[in-house]
Amino acid sequence: MSNLTLINVLIVLSVATYLVVAEQSNVRADRPDFCLLPGTLPGEKKCKGYIKKWTFNVTEDACVSYIYGGCHGTKNLFDTEEECQAACPSSAKKMSESPKKQGAVANSSSSLAYQHYLVAVVSCLIFFRFIRCYRAPIF
């Protein structure tokens, strides 16, 4: 493989990686700041209530059930899972709702579409000296 082809492959890989990372961070930027808060303020005295609530868990990237003591709550407490999901959508849900790239499998996420596009471009660059670009298989 010539040095020029290798440079082209590295450029395409860098751009594709940037696009995937940028899209994922844009998805997370759509979430309000209060979704990053814990359900109750840390360090506060525990209250004796036993109320089932829902809170967005950043680590799990999803709404989870939470037993609320009744005081020191934050805005990241919801009565139902649906309210929680509406206020703090998970990244996976946002990505699955985004418009699909043309040629992508109907149920694939947009990052998977980028990966297939990347494979197609790299295949084209590698085999460019044969004046022919091969379409990458879509799984």
Instruction: Tell me the per-residue pLDDT of 102-133, one tens digit each, with 9 for 90 and over.
Output: 444 444 445 555 555 555 555 555 555 545 55
Phi, psi of 65 (to 5 degrees): -70, 150
CATH number, domain of 70, equals 4.10.410.10
Q: What range defines the domain where residue 22 resides?
A: 1-30+93-139
Both 129 and 117 in one domain: the answer is yes
Q: What is the pTM of this model?
A: 0.48
Both 113 and 126 in one domain: the answer is yes
Both 99 and 137 in one domain: the answer is yes
Q: What confidence score (pLDDT) does residue 38 get?
A: 92
* Residue 138: partners with Cβ closer than 8 Å, 6 or more residues away: 103, 104, 105, 116
Q: Which residues of the chain have pLDDT under 70?
A: 1-29, 93-139
Q: What confidence score (pLDDT) does residue 115 get?
A: 58
User: What DSSP letter does each residue of 64-107 carry, written as one string?
Assistant: EEEEE-SSSB-SS-BSSHHHHHHHS--HHHHHHHSPPPTTS-TT
Structure tokens at 6: 């290798």
What is the count of structural domains for the chain?
Answer: 2
